[in-house]
Amino acid sequence: MPLVANSLLPTFTRLREEGDTVLDPARARQQDIREMHIGLLNMMPDAALEATERQFLRIVSESNQIAQFYIHLFTLPQLQRGEKAAAHIRQYYETFDTIKAEGLDALIITGANVTQPNLADEAFWEPLIEVIDWGYNNVTSILCSCLATHAVVQFRHQQKRKKLAEKCWGVFQHEVIDRFHPLVSDINTRFNVPHSRYNEITQQQFEEAGLRVLVASPDAGVHLAVSEDLFRIVYFQGHPEYDINSLLKEYKREVLLFIDDKRDDYPPFPHDYFSRQVQAILLEHKSRLLKAKARKAPLPTFPEELIRSRLHNTWHDTGEAMINNWIGRVYQTTNSDRKKRFMLGIDPDDPLGIRYTRSE
């Protein structure tokens, strides 16, 4: 169902250009369709800030529910930002105080770059915990992505993530191991999910914390788990929201780090992502690049455009179905929770209520 462009966020324009349905608020108000308000706490670094907006807004908008989605973006001021990203946030993001005052139906928390071995030593730790505490007590469900999953499991269950021997990076096959939970209803029992991380919460740690593991991979570990009440918190370690070229761009960044002598070794290929043809193209590029670098000659251009059309997305449909199940459960729960709607300032007898005032 459609997103509602409740701000001038450039991502809305980008999604329209790519064929997604994005309604302006005036048109949305004329439709007798219930609205849902979903917060997106975007903690990603500047280079991935807008791409992360686009990825999560797209996968939410493509979930097949009868609702209009209002996405409320916010971040944590303790995260270091460059001038451009800071200006983007000032212009298009809301404050956490506004989020708390107006309420949400659901909340998504993204990953973030970290600098400390212990997450509790990060500058954003206390503000993030404040958001998690508020969300747990005031929002129907919180969906945590990657680093957010590690932070919540550490905070709520005292299970600290473990450093991997090598980066878990690429596209991995997963299997549904608990087929009776509504979040995995009517999805493939085997499917792919991208991962990109140096740490993990193991299946044993999830289970020792009393959490329910739904989807896991023998190579990449747990992808999806849920809280002990089965729905209040949803934990992702993988990235079903990734674009088809997200791992390509990450690989390119690693190559550039090698060129700038910020990485000792030439990056390996992400697992099961590049075809043999693409690998051959990249190996040829690597050979030319190393020769040019040794001679201090001009470096060849990374063949990104040549590769893009040769990539395959093997994860999006199942990820979309899973988000669809999550949104559907939020929809059903908030629709029947009259007390919560009243507390959030919404007429419990009116599915549209006074929420329309947010976009006016």
Q: Cα 157 vs. chain centroid, distance in angstroms?
A: 22
Per 3-state DSSP, what percentage of the chain is helix, strand, and coil (rounded to 5)? Answer: 45, 20, 35
* Residues with catalytic function: 146, 239, 241
Per-residue pLDDT of the chain (360 residues; tens, 9 = 90+): 578 888 889 888 888 888 777 877 777 676 767 788 999 999 999 999 999 999 999 999 887 667 788 999 999 999 999 999 999 999 999 999 999 999 999 999 999 999 888 999 999 999 999 999 999 999 999 999 999 999 999 999 999 999 999 999 999 999 999 998 999 999 999 999 999 999 999 999 999 999 999 999 999 999 999 998 888 999 999 999 999 999 999 999 999 999 999 999 999 999 999 999 999 999 999 999 999 999 999 999 999 999 999 999 999 999 999 999 999 889 888 754 433 444 444 444 443 333 333 333
For the CA atoms of 123, 129, 132, 137, what is the dihedral angle to 10 degrees? Answer: -150
The pTM for the full model equals: 0.87
Q: Which domains does the chain have, with CATH numbers?
A: 3-242+315-359 (3.40.50.880), 246-308 (no CATH)
Report how far residue 320's alpha carbon sits from residue 301's, in angstroms, rounded to the nearest whole number: 34
Return the closest-CA partner of residue 318 out of 186, 130, 195: 186
